[in-house]
């Protein structure tokens, strides 16, 4: 029927099984996967991102994987252009796009009506210099005076986002909050969120970190970073797992300390992701532990296609903020 969702998105925190569910849905629906995990865009960042190997994809085409060199900085605006082109091509082939990822802004950039305001390196550099000299708190106070709504949404210690907000205000003369995304789909879509009990998810994260070390995460970081350990760009070098791997290689951290730091960083990431997706009222939440998870997901997609999708309601989100 007209208006039936064409795009399926599998979202939620890390280590809940999004890649596996997305793959299963693509197989059942005649679909192709479009990645929305910012770190899986990078070639060679495989172990630390839990990227599905080619053999594990079971012949299902995957897009927006391995499209950036690790020295490049990721750009949401660039991702939006390329991922939307992939999505349009999938639809043109008569296939179902299945978006999979936990990078909230990347998901929104692909699915929602979202435009990116201008940028100016000189303005940004001046703001960053002031933040280094006076601390982010002063800039946050300035942001609150100029745009209280944006200040309420940006943590006082988040220098990067404070600087970006002030940069946009300086360049446009408009509140930064006016540029923030709304919950309006660019194309019909249905979002399926994977929810998991906090203790169970923490256990999954510990197991994932153990597997990363067994598979050779530090060796992967060494190969990507190169002889001087300076081959990773800003985005890649800050990624959970890769920052700690670099610290080990530089002698700033033991492997035991690094493993603990990666687990802790991944737990923080999971809380942040659930906070982001938990604020989106359009997400239909499913128990990641359910034995009939694929069947539940397919049922929701089928009902959406028939125009019979229920309101997501206020379903409990165990990691929600």
Last residue within a domain, chosen from 179, 203, 229: 179
**What's the pLDDT score for residue 1?**
39
- Residue 162: give its domain's CATH number: 1.10.20.140
* Co-location of 131 and 200 in the same domain: no
CB 44 within 8 A of CB 223: yes
* Co-location of 221 and 275 in the same domain: yes
Instruction: Dump the DSSP string for 261-313.
Output: HHHHHHHHHHHHHHHHHHT-TTEEEEETT-TTHHHHHHHHHHHHHTT-PPP-T
* Co-location of 235 and 271 in the same domain: yes
* Co-location of 141 and 23 in the same domain: no
* Co-location of 194 and 309 in the same domain: yes
Binding-site residue numbers are 12-19
Q: Is the pLDDT of residue 321 over 80?
A: no
Higher pLDDT, 309 or 132: 132
Biggest CA-to-CA distance, the chain: 60
Q: Which domain holds residue 169?
A: 121-179
CB 132 within 8 A of CB 125: no
- Per-residue tokens: 18: 């999004």
Report pLDDT digits (tens) over 5-37.
789 999 999 999 999 999 999 999 999 999 999
Report the alpha-carbon distance of residue 82 to residue 270 in Å, rounded: 26
CB 39 within 8 A of CB 298: no
Report the alpha-carbon distance of residue 79 to residue 89 in Å, rounded: 15
Report the alpha-carbon distance of residue 201 to residue 231 in Å, rounded: 32
Give the C-alpha distances (Å, rounded to integers) separating 5 from 16, 77, 122, 132.
Answer: 24, 24, 42, 46
* Co-location of 194 and 72 in the same domain: yes
**What's the pLDDT score for residue 116?**
86
Number of domains in the chain: 2
| Percent of the chain whose predicted confidence (pLDDT) is above 90 | 88
- Residue 100: give its domain's CATH number: 3.40.50.300
* Co-location of 64 and 30 in the same domain: yes
Phi/psi at 64 (nearest 5 deg)? 65, 35
pTM for the full predicted model: 0.87
Question: Dihedral, CA atoms, 244, 250, 255, 257, nearest 10 degrees?
Answer: -60
Length of the chain in residues, anyone?
321
Q: Pick from 280, 273, 271: which is nearest to 189 by CA?
A: 280
Q: Is the pLDDT of residue 135 over 90?
A: yes
Report pLDDT digits (tens) over 164-209.
999 999 999 999 988 877 789 998 999 999 999 999 999 999 999 9
Q: Is the pLDDT of residue 141 over 70?
A: yes
Question: Dihedral, CA atoms, 257, 260, 265, 271, nearest 10 degrees?
Answer: -160
| CB within 8 Å of 214: residues ≥ 6 apart | none
**What's the pLDDT score for residue 3?**
55
* Co-location of 187 and 247 in the same domain: yes
Last residue within a domain, chosen from 156, 179, 202: 179
Report pLDDT digits (tens) over 244-274.
999 999 999 999 999 999 999 999 999 999 9
**What's the pLDDT score for residue 179?**
80
Binding-site residue numbers for ATP are 12-19
* Co-location of 17 and 153 in the same domain: no
Report the alpha-carbon distance of residue 51 to residue 67 in Å, rounded: 13
CB 61 within 8 A of CB 52: no
Report, as an integer, the average pLDDT of 34-49. 98
* Co-location of 195 and 290 in the same domain: yes
- Per-residue tokens: 241: 């797992």
Binding-site residue numbers for substrate are 14-19
Give the C-alpha distances (Å, rounded to integers) separating 189 from 34, 112, 245.
Answer: 14, 9, 38
Last residue within a domain, chosen from 131, 163, 179: 179
* Co-location of 148 and 233 in the same domain: no
Alpha helices in the chain (DSSP H): 18-29, 76-92, 104-111, 121-134, 136-146, 148-153, 159-172, 198-215, 217-225, 234-237, 242-249, 255-278, 293-305
Estimate the crossing angle of helix 136-146 against helix 159-172, to 10 degrees: 40
Q: 74-78, 189-193, 302-306 — which one is most confidently predicted on average?
A: 189-193
**What's the pLDDT score for residue 320?**
43
* Co-location of 5 and 86 in the same domain: yes
Report pLDDT digits (tens) over 97-134.
999 999 999 999 999 998 888 889 999 999 999 999 99
């Amino acid at each position: 029927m007209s208006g039936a969702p064409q795009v399926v998105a599998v979202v939620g925190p890390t280590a809940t099984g999004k890649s596996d569910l997305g793959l299963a849905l693509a197989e059942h629906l005649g679909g192709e996967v479009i990645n929305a995990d910012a770190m899986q865009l990078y070639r060679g960042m495989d172990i630390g991102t839990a990227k599905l190997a080619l053999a594990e994809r079971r012949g299902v085409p995957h897009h927006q994987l391995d499209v950036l060199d690790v020295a490049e900085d990721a750009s949401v605006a660039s991702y939006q252009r390329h991922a939307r082109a992939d999505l349009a091509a999938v639809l043109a082939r008569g296939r179902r796009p299945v978006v999979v990822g936990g990078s909230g802004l990347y998901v929104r950039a692909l699915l929602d009506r979202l435009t990116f305001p201008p940028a100016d390196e000189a303005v940004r550099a001046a703001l960053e210099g002031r933040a280094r000299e006076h601390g982010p708190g002063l800039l946050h106070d300035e942001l609150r005076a100029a745009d209280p709504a944006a200040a309420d949404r940006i943590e006082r210690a988040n220098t990067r986002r404070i600087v970006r907000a002030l940069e946009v205000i300086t360049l446009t003369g408009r509140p930064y909050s006016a540029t923030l995304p709304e919950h309006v789909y660019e194309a019909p879509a249905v979002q399926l969120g994977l929810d998991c009990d906090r203790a169970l998810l923490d256990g999954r994260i510990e197991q994932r970190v153990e597997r990363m070390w067994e598979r050779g995460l530090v060796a992967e970081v060494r190969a990507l970073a190169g002889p001087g350990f300076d081959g990773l760009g800003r985005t890649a070098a800050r990624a959970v797992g890769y920052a700690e791997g670099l610290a080990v290689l530089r002698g700033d951290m033991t492997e035991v300390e690094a493993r603990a730091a990666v687990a802790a960083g991944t737990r923080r990431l999971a809380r942040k992701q659930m906070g982001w997706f938990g604020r989106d009222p359009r997400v239909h939440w499913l128990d990641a532990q359910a034995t009939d998870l694929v069947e539940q997901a397919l049922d929701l997609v089928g009902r959406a296609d028939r125009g019979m999708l229920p309101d997501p309601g206020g379903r409990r989100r165990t990691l929600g903020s």
